[in-house]
Amino acid sequence: MLDTKTDNPLTAGTNITHAPQPCTLVIFGGGGDLTRRKLLPAVYNQALEGELPANFAVLGLSIEKMDDVKYREFARKGIEQFSRKPLDKAFWGDFEKRFHYLQGSFDNPEFYVQLKQRLDEIDSQFSIPGNHVFYLAIPPALIETCVCQLKAAGLVMPVDDNSPFSRIIVEKPIGRDLASAHKINATLCSNFDEQQIYRIDHYLGKETVQNILAMRFSNVIFEPLWNSRYIDHVQITVAEEEGVGTRAGYYDTAGALRDMIQNHILQLLSLIAMEPPWSMDADVIRDHRQNVLNCLRAITPENFDQHVVRAQYGAGFHHGEDVPGYRREAGVSQDSTTETYVALKVFIDNWRWAGVPFYIRTGKRMPKRTSEIAIQFKSVPPILFNSNHDQPLEPNVLALSIQPNEGLSLRIATKLPGTKLRVFPVKMDFRYGSTFGEQSPEAYERLLLDVMAGDATLFMRRDAVESSWAWVDNILNIWASSRTRWLPEYSAGTWGPLEADRLIESDNRQWRLL
């Protein structure tokens, strides 16, 4: 039974979520970069803060030659370098005993026999009741092999109250188009129940993203205005400062549309635009997000140029140093037409958002790393304080900063001090770090705890993945049919191509300065 009683005024009136359950976290790709940089530091931070269950262990799986001792050293180095909290040597001395390692090839059936035996030993050692979370931190090509072998080895438990749980976490990208995503999902769902599958998008674990629902539906001042009557447009920006770096091999076959928009940005869009849910149940929230994706207006060849811009970064400057253009990066084809920048004008054809444009932009080699959702309200009538047509008042803007400084701000108009009546825009600013005095947990920390607790709210369901791909595939197909040989360029260190400015300026609007 949920307990809503609390002495903490900050959480008064909220339901307490389910606690993480005892389990072994099994990481396929346990010796990889994602594990070292994100997963093991996330586990450590949550353990240090007392969030993990007492009966908990980690088993890393990889082809690299290591044993338990060397794997604990691998984990310690990753934590020392990437953890948001410094390594507590006294705490680590005991906690490291929960880290284990098994070497082997993922396509060898004998390896899964060994895995089952090792899990039995670890579960017995730490009094874990057979609950397992399998994290696939591996290339998409290996998903089918690992999933089928887990099922064949008897490591996937049925979904019922009498069995230990088996849950699987799948990293993006889930496919590179609708057909491949459907194939991966079919494999997952033929071996696991949909309730057991957690398709992870780390953006949904960021504090500000989690706060979108709380901001909208726990403050009466926002929801009555959250519609086409009061909102002029919405801007979503995800800017990356770095180039392709060591990811050139992957990126040149993917591009910004697949890498950022299909998963991250469309999920942000669905949270901002969804209808009020009647419950905080995971599937209720995901149903409402899915309804937004169902209402996305398709982009057609006839209106394509008015709704889509793609480009590549050219040579420029990064922190005062010369950097090469995309087609001069190591590992990138010199005649590549892979986009490193995309700008879109998107419409949601439902009653709430009819006629409201959502402007989306994302790119690499931009002036700084930042992600923001900005809701710009309509201007007040051109009378009284807004009667000067040459200097109209700036409209109200609610801006949600997702990274690097999580928080939100609200721009309002107010009178300047003095005897004259002058109105000036001011910004009311909230930042998690300065208000609450501590750094927000990393996204993977929250998401791992949610899987252990069986809460799928912040994870993508099969229909969301495939609906997103269906919408994006339409754009990809139009690009493919155009046979474009060269893309517009923007200088590295700038906010994108002139074509993107024209996209929004044709509607008498401008991109926000970030």
Q: Confirm if 376 and 358 have CB atoms less than 8 A apart.
A: no
Q: Where are the beta strands (DSSP E) in 117-216?
A: 132-136, 166-171, 197-200
- CA nearest 70: which of 38, 114, 27, 100? 100
In the DSSP assignment, the letter for residue 170 is: E
Known binding residue 202? Answer is yes
Distance in Å from the first CA to the final CA of the chain: 45
Phi/psi of residue 13, nearest 5 degrees: 85, 5
* Residue 258: HSE in the Cβ half-sphere, 13 Å Cα cutoff: 21
CA-CA distance, 255 to 341, in Å (whole number)?
8
Phi, psi of 401 (to 5 degrees): -90, 120
Work out the burial of residue 317: count CB atoms within 10 Å of its CB; fewer than 13 is exposed, 13-18 middle, 19 or more buried.
middle
Tell me how far CA of residue 504 lies from CA of 80, 274, 279, 360, 496, in angstroms. 45, 24, 37, 10, 12
Residue 240 to residues 346, 459, 493, Cα–Cα distance (Å): 21, 23, 10
Tell whether residue 161 is among the known ligand binding residues.
Answer: no
The answer to whether 240 is a known ligand-binding residue is: yes
**Is 259 assigned to a binding site?**
yes
| Residue 218 CB coordination number (10 Å) | 12
Alpha helix ranges (H) inside 295-421: 304-307
Q: Of 100, 132, 233, 264, which one is the catalytic site residue?
A: 264
Tokens of 218: 């726990």
Q: Which residues contact 251 (CB under 8 A, 6 or more apart)?
A: 244, 259, 332, 338, 340
| Integer Cα distance of 457 and 284 in angstroms | 9
233 is catalytic: no
Written as six digits, the tokens of 60 are: 């890393």
Q: Is 378 annotated as a binding residue?
A: no
Max Cα distance, the chain (Å) = 84
Distances (CA, A) of 97 to 35, 65, 124, 347: 17, 19, 14, 53
Q: What pairs with residue 237 in β-bridges?
A: 361, 372
Q: Is 206 annotated as a binding residue?
A: yes
The residues annotated as belonging to the active site are 264
* Residues of each annotated binding site for substrate: 202, 206, 240, 259, 364
